[in-house]
Amino acid sequence: MIQLAVLDMAGTTVADDGLVERAFTAAIGAQGIESGSPEYDKMLAHVRATMGESKITVFRALLNAEEAAQQANKAFETAYGELVDEGYCAPIDGAEDAIRQLKDAGIKVCLTTGFAQTTQHRILSALGWRELADLTLCPAQAGRGRPYPDMVLKAVLDLKGDAVANVAVVGDTVYDMTTGIAAGAGIVAGVLTGAHGKDQFQAAGATHVLSSVREFPDLLLS
């Protein structure tokens, strides 16, 4: 019996619509790397391949210098937050109803992200979701971000789950799948509303592939 659902935000419950790439362009531009240059294109390809991973980890891999990575990450979070404040933030169709269905059925819900906590809170505030989930987590609150299992395991501890096998993890990237598997989750489901596709999910070990988080309550409650 699934007791806890750990749901990703951007691309899974929150529409991305290119916001990550727009914020990345602003952040990497602050490091002197211009959009359209060969170096930029190479970095953007890495960003796309690592969607779902903690953003500071991505910038560390790209820039190979801690100070530059911290500066880029701060610029990214600022740019993304400004886009959210300007109204470029919307839920995935049916996501809020899906979360409410889960909670009505007695399943606790944790929303997770690879963003910083301040950015996560801006997104939740913009959507009116501050009180929607039982718990919200970002990498800094758990220890490490995806692909490590820390956020899932912290959710189990904080929400007093009986066992990791009673957890379902849902996300739009292979990093969500890797996280769920590493944590020992009973269900690890990929959704086709974000960064990665069916073949990538199956190769990463997903137990299910859904067109959207809208289908997730039916998977559990049927």
pLDDT in tens, 114-163: 888 988 999 999 999 999 999 999 999 999 988 999 999 999 999 999 99
Q: Residue 220 in contact with residue 6, Cβ under 8 Å? A: no
Q: Residue 198 in contact with residue 192, Cβ under 8 Å? A: yes
Q: How much is the pLDDT for 192?
A: 96
Cβ neighbour number for residue 118 with a 10 Å cutoff: 11
Percent of the chain topping pLDDT 90: 61
Radius of gyration of the chain (CA): 17
Q: How much is the pLDDT for 17?
A: 80
Asked if the model's pLDDT at residue 32 lies above 90, the reply is no
